[in-house]
Amino acid sequence: MTSAPTVSAAGLTLRYGRTAALDDVTLGLGEGVTGLLGPNGAGKTSLLRVLATAVPADRGAFTVLGHDPATAAGRREARRRLGYLPQNPGFHPEFTAFAFVDYVAILKELTDRGARHREVRRVLEAVDLTDVRGKRIKRLSGGMRQRVALAAALVGDPGVLLLDEPTVGLDPEQRMRFRELIADAGASRTVLLSTHQTEDVAMLCHRVIVMARGRVRFAGTPAELTAKAAGRVWIGTERDPGARAGWRTGLGTFRNVGDPPKGADLLEPTLEDGYLLVLDGEPAEVASV
Amino acid sequence: MRDDRHDGTGWHADIDDLRAYARGELRAPRLWSVDTHLVTCATCRGTLAEVSDPPALDAGWERLDAELDAPRPGFVEGLLLRIGVADHTARLLLATPVLRASWLGAVLLVLAMTVASVYTSDSPVLFLALAPLLPLAGVALSYGPALDPTHELAIVAPLHGFRLLMTRTIAVLVASLGLNGLATLALPGYGLRALAWLVPALALTATGLALTARLGPVLAPALVSGGWVALLMVTEATTHGMLAAFTGPGQGVAAAVAVLAACVLHRMRDRFDASPVPSPFTHFARRSTS
C-alpha cells in the first residue's frame, strides 16, 4: 500500500501494574484490511482499545485520519471517523436489531430521526440483516448478533474500522459470511482486524502485523510473513527434536518447522508456518505497513 | 395532524399535509402523525399516490418503510415525546440501565420497608438516612460497565461522555426523587421534617459523581455511602440521637456541599469523555483483557 497512512501510531505504551500490555508500539495503517495476529495476551485487544480511544495510552501518540485524540477536539473528530467492534460487544437484549443500531446511531450524533432511520436501514442491509431487523437481539444467533455489532460499527460510514476478533465462536458458514462482509468493508476504508486465525489473514488481508508480549514482532504482507518460513518446513517420518514446532499429519508423516537438517525433504511454507517462526524468538522486524 | 377530511370510513390526513409529505417537506411532529396514519389508512395512501410525483413517492415509501422498522415508543417514551423531549434524547433516557422495572421495583420495596419501620419505631430516622442513598446508588449504577452492557460503545462514541452521564443522571434523579417523594407522602405525621432527605440526597449524588471522576464508578459511591452512614452514626452518638444532617444548619451544610460538588463535577467533565475512570475494579477488568 503506497497511500499515506490513515492511522499512524508512535511509541504506544500501556501498562497494567508491572505488565506491559503495549510496549513501544509503532505502526501505520493504510486503506484495505490489515490483520493483527498474536497469541492470547499479545496486546491485540489493548492496541485496538487504545486506537478506538476507549483507553488512553500511558505513553506515545497516534492520529486517525489526521486527528490527534490527545486533545478533546481531536478525540471527537477521530471518534466521528472510527467504527469499533469490541471483543465482547454488549447489547441491550430487549432491544430489536433496529432499535439497538438506532441507539448506537444516536450515540454517534445522528439526531435527525429520518436521516438516522435511513442510515440504520442502510447498515442493516449491508450486513444482510434486513429480514430480522424487528427481532429482539436475545432471539438472534451468535453470528447474527456479531453482524448487528458490525452494523453498529458501520453507522456513519467510518473511514477506519477496528474489529476485535469478530469471527470467534462462529461456525464455518457464519465465519465465511463474516469474511465477505469484512472484505466488502475494507474495499473503501481502513480495517484493522484482530484475529487468532491465520486463515482469516490469508483470505482477507493485504497487510499483517504480528504482536507478542505487547510488541510488534512483524509487519508486512502475508506473502512476506509466509516467506519467513521458506526453506524451514520439512517433512519426515518422525518429529524432529531440533524443530521449533512439529506435528503428525493425517498421512502419518511429520511436518516440522524450524532449522531443517541437511538433505531434509522441504515443503512449501504456509502463512501459519511463518507466524510460528516469527513468534518463536525471532528478532523483531518492523516494516512500514 | 388536522383530520379535516371524512368519507364515511373515518377521518383522514389533510391533503396539504399529504402534499408536503410527498415533497419531503412535512416537519415533525406532524410528519410522525402522517407516518403513523398512513400505516393504517389505505385511502390516504391512495391520495398520497395521486398527489405525488414518482421519485417523491418512492422517497415517501422509503421513509414510511423506515418508520415501520422504527422502535414503537412505549408509554414513558411517548410521554416524554409529548412533553417536548427530542426523540433521540428520549431513546437515550430509555436505554438507561437502572430505569428498568426490576430496579424501580427494588427501590419501591426498600422504601416500603423503611416507611413501615417508621411506623413501628415511631421515628423517621431510618427513612431519612436511607432515602438519600437511593438516588446515589441509581446514578452510580447508570454509569460504567457494571450495568451498562454498551458502556464500551458509549465511551468511544463522539457524543460527549459527560452529556450522556448528565442525561442519565437527570433521568435517574427524577425517578428516584419521585419515588422518595411518594414514600414521604406516606408519612404525613412528620410534616416537612419528612422531606429532610432531599438536600442530602442531592449532596450525596453530586459528591459521588465528582469523586467518580477520580476514583471510578464503584469506589466513589461506595466511599460516599460509607461516609454518610459514618457521619450519621457519629452525630447520633455525640448529640444523643439528634441527627445534625436533618437540622436547619445541617441542611445548609448539605446544600453547600451539593453546590461545591456540582462545581467540581463540572470542572472535571472531560474526565468522563477521555477514558474509563480508573478504579481498583476497572483496573482488574483492564487486566483481564489481552
Taking only the tens place, the pLDDT of each residue in B86-139 is 888 888 887 776 666 667 777 878 888 888 887 777 778 788 888 888 888 888
Band of pLDDT at residue B2, cut at 50, 70 and 90: very low
Residue B201: its pLDDT value, please? Answer: 92
* Residues of chain A with C-beta less than 8 angstroms from the C-beta of B72: none
Residues A16, B287: C-beta atoms closer than 8 Å: yes
B63 has pLDDT over 80: no
Task: Specify whether the CB–CB gap between A155 and A118 falls below 8 A.
Answer: no
Most confident of A173-187, B9-23, B104-118: A173-187
Q: What is the per-residue pLDDT across A27-70, written as a single tens digit (0 to 9) for each?
A: 999 999 999 999 988 999 999 999 999 988 999 999 999 999 99
A280 has pLDDT over 80: no
Closest Cβ opposite residue A44 in set B71, B86, B290: B290
For residues A215-223, give the mean pLDDT. Answer: 95
Taken in order B84, B87, B90, B94, is the CA torsion positive or negative? positive
Task: Give A211's contacts (C-beta < 8 A, 6+ positions apart).
Answer: A25, A36, A37, A38, A42, A43, A44, A47, A217
Cell matching residue A30: 493504510
Helices and strands, counts by H and E, chain B: 16, 2
Q: What is the per-residue pLDDT across A253-262, written as a single tens digit (0 to 9) for each?
A: 888 888 888 8
Closest Cβ opposite residue B156 in set A79, A92, A133: A79
Band of pLDDT at residue B261, cut at 50, 70 and 90: very high
* Residues of chain A with C-beta less than 8 angstroms from the C-beta of B164: 107
Nearest to B219 by CA among B281, B270, B287: B281
Residue B274: its pLDDT value, please? Answer: 61
A26 has pLDDT over 70: yes
List the single range of A120-124, B87-91, B142-146, B193-197 with lowest mean pLDDT: B142-146
Percent of chain B residues past pLDDT 90, beyond the cut: 13
Band of pLDDT at residue B259, cut at 50, 70 and 90: very high
Residue B62: its pLDDT value, please? Answer: 65
Residue A10: its pLDDT value, please? Answer: 96
Closest Cβ opposite residue B158 in set A80, A114, A118: A80
Task: Specify whether the CB–CB gap between A58 and A135 falls below 8 A.
Answer: no
Residue A282: its pLDDT value, please? Answer: 44
Residue B127: its pLDDT value, please? Answer: 83
* Residues of chain B with C-beta less than 8 angstroms from the C-beta of A52: 156
pTM attached to this predicted model: 0.78
Distance CA A251, CA A255 (A): 10
Distance CA A7, CA A173 (A): 32
Residues B158, A121: C-beta atoms closer than 8 Å: no
B275 has pLDDT over 70: no
Q: Which of A85, A106, A130, A164 is best to mutate for the B interface (most B CBs within 10 A)?
A: A106
Residues B153, A99: C-beta atoms closer than 8 Å: no
* Residues of chain A with C-beta less than 8 angstroms from the C-beta of B216: none
For residues B60-75, give the mean pLDDT. Answer: 68
